[in-house]
Structure 1
């Protein structure tokens, strides 16, 4: 059984800790795909700082029992009430305990005005696809991007309210 989590807004003073979490969490995917074009594993402090400072960007620690076990960055567009998740990560030692799913479930409580949530993930990572589907995300038919041979991103979305 997963213990409750809290999402705690991170400020710029936490950028080094967040970047370290990104490197640790995305190294296995980098080692598997050797994606030098888009891998978060290759993120620098300068590029991460720029992302954190973008308008509409909010980064949260995933906190369990007073420990930061993951993070999620949300990029909102209040004009059309959409939000993009990029990235969501749980540190390797805490994975497979339902923490990522618990994080996704919390988002509508923090962002009640968001109607559509969007993200992309690697198509061949069936565990990630399954996680997002359990959280209510659906693949967007026909929307994908080849990053390199053997690595294709697929796009998923979830509506918080009924679209007419």
Structure 2
């Protein structure tokens, strides 16, 4: 177990996927409008993500059309300064959008490689919409038996946050 991650042959798979699901008040059109307006970084982070993780400070970019961009500026952590995660709308459809990473020079890159965010939404009853946010990433910390569960937990918290900060109508 102590050698896990030292070489590729001694490494567990690094690809991970985490999904969060939440019912929000509002129609699918409301959710789509809010998603198109972009992340609201003033939304409070979950408690776990407030204990030293980089925080989103500002966001540039709106829209849900193919090639629309999001530049999310994060605070730094430890000795690393602030940086940006840049996402591009790669695919859209009714009740669906896929964001793919263009670049990442935020401190997050030391722990994980953010790859894809997929958001799906559908009406479950009048005025109530289910939002499903999936984040695909690659774990960059070893050993997997220790860091894997912590990274999945942190990314699940991030997906929960993204539903509230980027998809929930207010």
Q: How does the TM-score come out when normalised to structure 1?
A: 0.30
Q: Hey, which of these two has a bigger chunk of helix by percent?
A: 1
User: Greater CA radius of gyration, 1 or 2?
Assistant: 2
Q: Hey, which of these two has a bigger chunk of strand by percent?
A: 2
- Determine which structure has greater relative contact order: mean sequence separation of CA pairs < 8 Å that are 6+ residues apart, divided by chain length: 2
